[in-house]
A = this chain, B = another copy of it.
Amino acid sequence: MNGGVSRSQGTHDRRHGLRLRRLGIDTHQEPVIYMRSDCHVCRAEGFTSHARVQVTSAGYSIIATLNQINSDLLKDGEASLSESGWRLLGAGEGDPIAVNHPPPVLSLGRLRAKVFGQRFKDHELAEIVRDIVAGRYTDIELSSFVTVCAARDLDRDETTGLTRAMIDAGESLRWDRSPVVDKHSVGGLPGNRTTPIVVAIAAACGLTMPKTSSRAITSPAGTADTMETMAPVDLDIQSMRRVVEREGGCVVWGGAVRLSPADDVLIRIERALDIDSEGQLVASVISKKVAAGSTHIILDIPVGPTAKVRGQEAAEGLARSLVETAAAFGVHARVMATDGRQPVGRGIGPALEARDVLAVLQVAPGAPQDLRERATLLAGALLELAGAAGAGAGQAVAAEALAEGRAWAKFQRICEAQGGMREPPVAAHCRPVIALRTGQVAAIDNRRLAKVAKLAGAPIAKAAGVELHARLGARVEAGDRLFTVHAESPGELAYSLDYVAVNKDILELAEP
């Protein structure tokens, strides 16, 4: 306290008024403000293109990236926002706005310290997550956070701290019943869409299962993407509560419920980088379960050479981290390591997986038995964990609920309660991929198969993906279809098939 600033107040007029005009530019999530480069505000504040600025309208502020206009697209005194900017600010045509330098984002200093090897403290993670949810981080800064959490592993305390920060930054549900159950698959295995089946069985057996699911991070489909082809999933928290109170279960998109809004921001960056690190995975999963009010959860970790988790040791490490982090919030978790050597079910991609789910629920003759088996295994474990079935009897109870049509009836009621059941879409452009010779399927590369589905447009193109015709151990003849690529546009079909053409061993055929 030895130096001080001599400064008269009022030398600087901060009311930099402009009026908003809609240009209709969609920049996806990133809020952008458009201002004339010769605008008096840019000149007075020294703003140049790509500056981060604070935009205020009717007392509410957002941070946006500046794009300058060197033409008459905007008139003097006008500014515009990207579509996401209009949405976030809640502003309307002609509204007056003020544009200023944003306050410095102090939590970026914590992020830098982590990059250079310091541990995150709880309050630092809380600060970072608050700033992320408030939209104060640029994509460049978000990417640095996602990268450093993967490159400088989060330890147990940091993982718990990140989980708590993510819970505190969103809404939380409390239920007047117990147990409240949940289930999560770590993913990395194409297909494996057990969740809608497990929810239907659990709710049919009287359990409470308020399931929130994510959209795909690095995979061709998340449960929310798949469920959306059968019923609306973007329910708000009140609608979700109504569905669960009426039917005992739901399958909704976590992002709309805002149980962990930070996660929804991070997922976009993780998806762009194709990075999903253990610490962030655990914080993402457990924060949503805790915020949803769950008391008992089953965690499915598929293990296989091309699954997300490749070996028993890695599975045990992840399982420990999940169970211990859950325990820190008073939640009972049980982990099941499952076979992750090949996809579960036939479809890969939102609508194709939905068809598998429907076939199992409807006890259709051609329903994929591996998916049925996996779903009843997990549902059974959940029934046992929650005390709704005796030890060892869970899977039989679950299978019965399926066989008697109670799960299917419950699923239809849940879909209706979520806004109405619908038919998954069918792709306009399909092309089979053929075995060039006779042989036995010796290995299936989950990652490259997922890549084929993603290049075909999944998960954004709902009907796109891969339909798998051969399974491990199956004998195929030359000319048999190995899998079929589905796409909604010819460009995406071609793009995906280009990849298949240079990756001919996605299904490896051994001598018969």
In the complex, the answer to whether B50 meets A115 with C-beta atoms within 8 Å is no
Alpha-carbon separation in the docked complex, A13 to B269 (Å): 32
Which of the residues B1, B69, B100, B433 comes within 8 Å of A504, measured between beta carbons?
Answer: B1
The B-contacting residues of A in range 444-486, CB under 8 angstroms, are: 457, 460-461, 464, 482
In the complex, the answer to whether A494 meets B12 with C-beta atoms within 8 Å is yes
> Closest B-chain residue to A68, C-beta based?
B26
A4 close to chain B: CB less than 8 A: yes
Alpha-carbon separation in the docked complex, A494 to B7 (Å): 9
Which of the residues B3, B27, B439, B487 comes within 8 Å of A505, measured between beta carbons?
Answer: B3
> Closest B-chain residue to A509, C-beta based?
B2
When distances are taken between beta carbons in the complex, the residues of chain B under 8 Å from A509 are 2-3
Give 17 new A-B contacts, CB below 8 A, not counting A3-B504, A12-B493: A1-B504, A2-B507, A3-B509, A5-B434, A25-B68, A26-B69, A28-B50, A46-B457, A46-B460, A73-B73, A116-B151, A139-B139, A140-B273, A141-B273, A144-B147, A147-B148, A148-B151
The B-contacting residues of A in range 34-55, CB under 8 angstroms, are: 34, 37, 43-46, 48-50
A selection of 5 A-B contacts at a CB cut-off of 8 Å is: A3-B500, A5-B500, A25-B69, A43-B489, A46-B489
The B-contacting residues of A in range 132-151, CB under 8 angstroms, are: 138-144, 146-148, 150-151
| Given known A-B contacts A3-B436, A139-B143, A144-B275, A67 and B27 have beta carbons under 8 A apart | yes
In the complex, the answer to whether B70 meets A26 with C-beta atoms within 8 Å is yes
Which of the residues B24, B140, B152 comes within 8 Å of A140, measured between beta carbons?
Answer: B140
A22 close to chain B: CB less than 8 A: yes
When distances are taken between beta carbons in the complex, the residues of chain B under 8 Å from A457 are 46
| Given known A-B contacts A139-B139, A141-B143, A147-B151, A101 and B273 have beta carbons under 8 A apart | no
A432 close to chain B: CB less than 8 A: yes
When distances are taken between beta carbons in the complex, the residues of chain B under 8 Å from A147 are 115, 143-144, 147-148, 151
Q: Kindly supply a per-residue 1/0 record for chain A positions 295-312, scoring 1 wherever the CB is within 8 Å of any chain B CB and 0 otherwise.
A: 000000000000000000
In the complex, the answer to whether A504 meets B4 with C-beta atoms within 8 Å is yes
In the complex, the answer to whether B44 meets A70 with C-beta atoms within 8 Å is no
| Given known A-B contacts A71-B24, A73-B23, A151-B151, A275 and B432 have beta carbons under 8 A apart | no
| Given known A-B contacts A34-B25, A115-B275, A492-B46, A508 and B6 have beta carbons under 8 A apart | no
A101 to chain B, nearest CB (A): 5
A273 to chain B, nearest CB (A): 5
In the complex, the answer to whether A1 meets B490 with C-beta atoms within 8 Å is no
A167 close to chain B: CB less than 8 A: no
Alpha-carbon separation in the docked complex, A493 to B432 (Å): 66
Most buried by B among A7, A11, A44, A104: A7
> Closest B-chain residue to A116, C-beta based?
B150
Alpha-carbon separation in the docked complex, A2 to B13 (Å): 72
In the complex, the answer to whether A436 meets B2 with C-beta atoms within 8 Å is yes
